[in-house]
Amino acid sequence: MAPLAQQEMQNFDSKAVLKCTISTECALYNLPQDPEILFKQWNSKPPVFIRHVFPVLKVVPLTLTNKDTGIIQKNALDFINLLNSSKSFSVQNWFIGNFFYKPFEINSLISKEVLKKTPCKLNVRNPDQVISILCSRNEKNCYMGISLVENNLSTWAGGVLKYKRSENQISRSELKLLEAIDTFNIDVSTFKNALDLGAAPGGWSRILSEKGIKVTTIDTGELKSELINSPNIRYLKITTQQHLRTNKESFDIICCDMKMDAVKASKLILNYSKYLKTNGLVIMTLKLPKKVSLTNTILKDSLNILSQGYIIKHVKCLFYNRNELTLILSKVSPQLDPNFKSAV
Q: H-helix or E-strand containing 5? A: helix 2-12
Give the Cα separation of 155 and 323 in Å (integer): 23
pTM of the model: 0.90
Domain with CATH 3.30.2130.30 in the chain: 2-159
**Position 290 confidence tier, pLDDT thresholds 50, 70, 90:** confident
Q: How many Cα neighbours within 13 Å face the side chain of 130?
A: 28
Q: What is the CATH number of domain 2-159?
A: 3.30.2130.30
Its CATH class, for the domain covering 173-331, is alpha beta
Region 141-153: mean pLDDT is: 95
- CATH 3.40.50.150 location in the chain: 173-331
**Confidence class of residue 333 from pLDDT cuts 50, 70 and 90?**
low
pLDDT tens-digit readout, 91-133: 999 999 999 999 999 999 999 999 999 999 999 989 999 999 9
| pLDDT range class, residue 185, cuts 50, 70, 90 | very high
The C-alpha atoms of residue 120 and residue 127 are separated, in whole angstroms, by 10
C-beta of residue 154 within 8 angstroms of C-beta of residue 171: no
Phi, psi of 234 (to 5 degrees): -110, 115
CA proximity to 232, closest of 253, 207, 250: 207
